[in-house]
Amino acid sequence: MNQLLGLLKCVLKAAIFFTLFAFALNNQQDATVHFFFGTQWRAPQVLVVLAAFAAGLAIGALGMVPRWWRQRVTQQRQDAAAPAQAATQPPISRPDETLHGL
């Protein structure tokens, strides 16, 4: 079962790679991006799309930093308070938690 899942992952990754590769080959025309004050950037269209995608990822990740930071601080505070609470409360039994995903 694990080998089949591993093979499926490899096939999916190969399909994604070849799809993106074909996209890059089909979009080699020059594109011009006009910025402010008359500046412009001329590059192959696939690079412009890739740059826009990367910029979107970076901006999205930077937008999440405050929430991640707050959750980290909250978790550290809870971890610091956990030994005092553990002495007064009985342990909680939890079912096995498994991680799912690709």
Whether the CB-CB separation of 48 and 34 falls below 8 Å is answered with no
- Asked if the structure places residue 90 within a domain, the reply is no
Q: How many domains does the chain have?
A: 1
**Count of residues for the chain?**
102
Q: For 33-87, how does the pLDDT look when each residue is reduced to its tens digit (9 = 90+)?
A: 888 998 988 988 888 888 889 999 999 999 999 999 999 888 888 888 776 665 5
Which residues constitute the domain of residue 74?
2-80
- Asked if the structure places residue 97 within a domain, the reply is no
Whole-number CA gyration radius for the chain? 24
pTM: 0.53
- Asked if the structure places residue 94 within a domain, the reply is no
- Asked if the structure places residue 93 within a domain, the reply is no
What phi-psi label fits residue 81: left (phi over 0), alpha (psi between -120 and 50 degrees) or beta?
Answer: alpha
- Asked if the structure places residue 102 within a domain, the reply is no
- Asked if the structure places residue 7 within a domain, the reply is yes
Inform me whether the pLDDT recorded for 91 exceeds 90.
no
